[in-house]
Amino acid sequence: MKFINLIVHKFHAKSLEEILLEVKWLLNYTRRYTKAILFYVALGFLSTGMGLIGSLASKYLIDAVTGYDSTNIKLIVALMIGMSLGDIVVGAATSRISTKISMNVKLEIQSEVYDRIMCIDWEAVSAFHSGDLLNRFASDVNIISDSILSWLPSLVTRLLQFLGTLLIILYYDPTMAAITLISAPVTFFMSRFLMSRMRSYNDKMRQLSSEMMSFQEESFQNLQIIKCFDLCSIFGQKLREVQQRYLGFTLDYNLFSIYTSSFLSFVGMGIGLATFGWSVFRLWSGDITYGTMTLFLQLSGSLSAAFSSLISLIPAAISATTSAGRIMAIVELPQETRFAHVNDKGDAEVNEDELELQLCNVDFSYQGRQILKDISVTVKPHTITGIIGPSGVGKTTLLHIILGLLNPGKGEVKLIHSNASEMLVSAAARKYFAYVPQGKSIFSGTIADNLRLVKPDATQEEMIAALKAACAYDFVQVLPEGIDTYIGERGYNFSDGQIQRISIARALLRNAPVLLLDEATSALDFETEQQVLKNIMQYSTSRTCILTSHKQSIIQMCDKVYQINQGKLSELVNDSLLDEVLEEEVAVAL
């Protein structure tokens, strides 16, 4: 009970309840791999048994060659050789099979964690840096998967080794067993101290590791900006500062490990000398044979090693629970909302044709600041609706609410069909939308790869038709590989205008009834953007388009234009008023 109270007191960063939750989370995975764990335990039993038998065989062999008992010498030699060969075979088989099982478990856990992360509420997961997510996904999942398969089998195997060795020593010499066990209480009390320190070190090490990975990832993602502002030396210095913090803490942990391991080594050395001295004394007294002395020396070392291995499982358990807590902090975030249909007919989904979009009294706040206030608007099918307003007023936020990425604090967003079937907008309704966001939204791979993301079975003709509608095929067809031309990370080797048109083509290929364009033509010239918008409406007869833009030319093509001002959405019905608003926005931008 005192030990548990000590853990509660020492683990100031984590309550006992949280640690138990982490252990329970790990055990849920452990139960799924019971067969693999039992296999590891069986191999451990076999290896330990052969080791003990080999030690006993060596005793009888030495006794035989020293003339104490020369009977069955051939059998003893054969047994020793058999145990040695068996240990090699078991070791090789264990290495091969354990690698296969370990990789399968790791990849399976990674897949499940990845799927959970991908379905987390977007606003909740956005609070984590992508580098931190990557570090948890890679490093922490690896630690967890290794722990699931190794910790429990190691505990059982080492315990068997410890008890088996102890029983053999007790059989031959109880005093020797007592001398060998002197290190047990010392190591146990040291482990109490180690546990509290280990938890703190593990937490801090993971945080610093995530910080360093986040910095590196963000630097590489923004390498162009760093170069353009000639910031290479500054970012190099920042990296060294992060590295120094990581190095300093690592060295501190290393020094702590050296102190504790050195102390335990001194204890082990003392016990080893004591067992050796006792063995020599018993041999000198004629109480034991040379073979028995050799057995004592072997088993005393094995016993001490087995107990040290059992103690070493404590840091491994702390590391695993720390990683489990970090993964739990991610996967237990709220999942995306998926509203079902709300019509009286009980249809599983709305009809994809003739969709009307309704926003009813929508409010949205971020970090205590209200961004959108009581927004109500109806977007009819076959129309282009424009949304204008200065940067930062909530245009993109409004599109994210329409996509179900953000949940309004009040009000609702609905898709309504002419037959009165309707659906609340959430993650479940995203299949009715196609979206072209601001900036580069392209992936590494070929042009065809990017297009087929939204329609894996798209034919060559369908992709070309979408590219033509987006005014992209003119430059794509003259590329050496055509639509099979490779696009580098963040659209490398392609202009912003070309990337925008490929992104629009991808959205058109999805052929969703509602198309959302967020400053999607900002890099296009006047004639191209006019043609793109005309093509968009002709590409599908049921197309409904909502766009945000600062350009007067494209806004004037809209059937309706709305302005966001101080969180309110109001329709601009007068052309002169629209011109005035756009001129004000341009002036603000300048």
Region 195-217: what's the mean pLDDT? 78
Average pLDDT taken over every residue of the chain: 78
What single-letter amino acid sits at 496?
D
Whether residue 316 sits in one domain with residue 402: no
**Domain check: are 144 and 235 in the same one?**
yes
- pLDDT band at residue 86 under the 50/70/90 scheme: confident
Under the banding of pLDDT at 50, 70 and 90, the label for residue 59 is confident
| Residue 117 reports pLDDT greater than 60 | yes
* pLDDT-wise least confident of 294-308, 372-386, 446-460: 294-308
Q: What residue numbers bound the domain in which 540 lies?
A: 355-589
Per-residue pLDDT tens digits for 519-531: 887 778 888 888 8
Measured in degrees and rounded to the nearest 5, phi and psi for residue 435 equal -140, 135
Closest CA to 447 of 497, 505, 510: 505
Does residue 127 belong to any structural domain of this protein? yes
Q: How high is the pLDDT of residue 355?
A: 82
Distance CA 330, CA 587 (A): 43
Query: What is the reported pLDDT for 7?
Result: 40
* pLDDT attached to residue 74: 72
In this prediction, residues 5-16 reach a mean pLDDT of 46
Same domain assignment for residues 361 and 225: no
Q: How far is CA 130 from CA 22, 134, 215, 314, in A?
A: 23, 6, 10, 31
- HSE toward the beta carbon, residue 252, CA cutoff 13 A: 13
The tally of domains found in the chain comes to: 2
Cβ burial of 99 (10 Å; 0-12, 13-18, 19+) is: exposed
Same domain, 307 and 361: no
pLDDT for position 463: 92
Looking at per-residue pLDDT, the higher value among 179 and 6 belongs to 179
Question: What's the whole-number mean pLDDT along residues 357-373?
Answer: 87
Q: Is residue 322 part of a domain?
A: yes
DSSP 137: I
Return the minimum-mean-pLDDT range out of 133-137, 201-205, 235-239.
Answer: 201-205
Read off the pLDDT of residues 463-481 as tens digits, 9 standing for 90 and up: 999 999 988 899 989 988 8
Q: Work out the pLDDT band at 505, boundaries 50, 70, 90.
A: very high
Q: Which of 298, 331, 364 is the last residue of a domain?
A: 331
Could you give phi then psi for residue 487, rounded to 5 degrees? -105, 125
Widest distance between CA atoms in the chain:
116
Does the structure show a pLDDT above 50 at 286?
yes
- Residue ending a domain, choose from 273, 299, 331: 331
The 3-state secondary structure of 52-74 reads: HHHHHHHHHHHHHHCCCCCCCHH
Residues 131 and 273 occupy one common structural domain: yes
Mean pLDDT of 264-292: 76
271 lies in some domain: yes
Q: What percent of the chain has pLDDT over 90?
A: 4
For residue 555, give the CATH number of its domain.
3.40.50.300
Which two structure tokens, joined as six digits, stand for 319? 């590391």
Mean pLDDT calculated for residue range 562-582: 72
Looking at 269, 299, 331, which one is the last position of a domain? 331
| Region 503-507 average pLDDT | 91
Q: Is residue 79 part of a domain?
A: yes
> Same structural domain for residues 248 and 376?
no
Structure token pair of residue 295 = 């057995």
C-alpha count within 13 angstroms, C-beta hemisphere, residue 419 = 11
DSSP lists the bridge partners of residue 385 as 546, 560
Q: What CATH number has the domain bearing residue 50?
A: 1.20.1560.10
Inside any domain, residue 138: yes
- Residue 367 and residue 293 share a domain: no
Q: How far apart are the C-alpha atoms of 58 and 295, rounded to whole Å? A: 7
pLDDT bucket at 484, cuts 50 / 70 / 90: very high
Six-digit token string for 37 = 């764990």
Write down the pLDDT at residue 93. 75
**For residue 216, what are the contacts with CB-CB under 8 A and spacing of at least 6?**
131, 239
DSSP lists the bridge partners of residue 436 as 517
Q: What is the pLDDT of residues 251-269, one digit of tens each?
A: 887 787 777 777 766 776 7
Q: Is there a domain that residue 337 lies in?
A: no
Q: Are residues 405 and 440 in the same domain?
A: yes
Answer yes or no: is pLDDT of 537 > 60: yes
- Contact between 193 and 316 under an 8 Å Cβ cutoff? The reply is no
- CB within 8 Å of 275: residues ≥ 6 apart: 176, 179, 180, 296, 297, 300
**Would you list the DSSP string of 356-415?**
EEEEEEEEEEETTEEEEEEEEEEE-TT-EEEEE--TTSSHHHHHHHHTTSS--SEEEEEE
Please give the residue that has the higher pLDDT: either 344 or 261: 261
Q: By mean pLDDT, which of 8-22, 23-37, 115-129 is the weakest?
A: 8-22
Q: Which of 513, 439, 432, 511 has its CA nearest to residue 469?
A: 511
What DSSP string runs through 504-557? HHHHHHHT-SEEEEESTTTTS-HHHHHHHHHHHHHH-TT-EEEEE-S-HHHHTT
* Per-residue pLDDT, 252: 84
Report CA dihedral (497, 500, 504, 506) to the nearest 10 degrees: 120
Between 68 and 317, residue with greater pLDDT = 317
What pLDDT sits at residue 461? Answer: 92
Average pLDDT over residues 438-460: 87
Tell me, yes or no, whether 362 and 411 share the same domain.
Answer: yes
CB-CB contact of 360 with 337 (8 Å):
no
Q: What percent of the chain has pLDDT over 70?
A: 85
Q: With residue 206 as reference, give the H or E element that holds it.
A: helix 183-221
**What φ, ψ does residue 129 adopt, rounded to 5°?**
-70, 145
pLDDT in tens, 387-416: 888 888 888 889 998 988 888 888 889 888
348, pLDDT greater than 60: no
- Residue 8: predicted pLDDT: 41
**Does residue 6 form part of some domain?**
no
Pair (172, 217) in one structural domain: yes
Task: State the pLDDT at residue 16.
Answer: 62
Any domain includes 122: yes
Q: In this structure, are 425 and 489 located in the same domain?
A: yes
Sign of CA dihedral 393, 394, 396, 398: negative
Q: Looking at the structure, do residues 268 and 372 belong to the same domain, yes or no?
A: no
- Residue pair 387/571 in contact (Cβ under 8 Å)? The answer is no
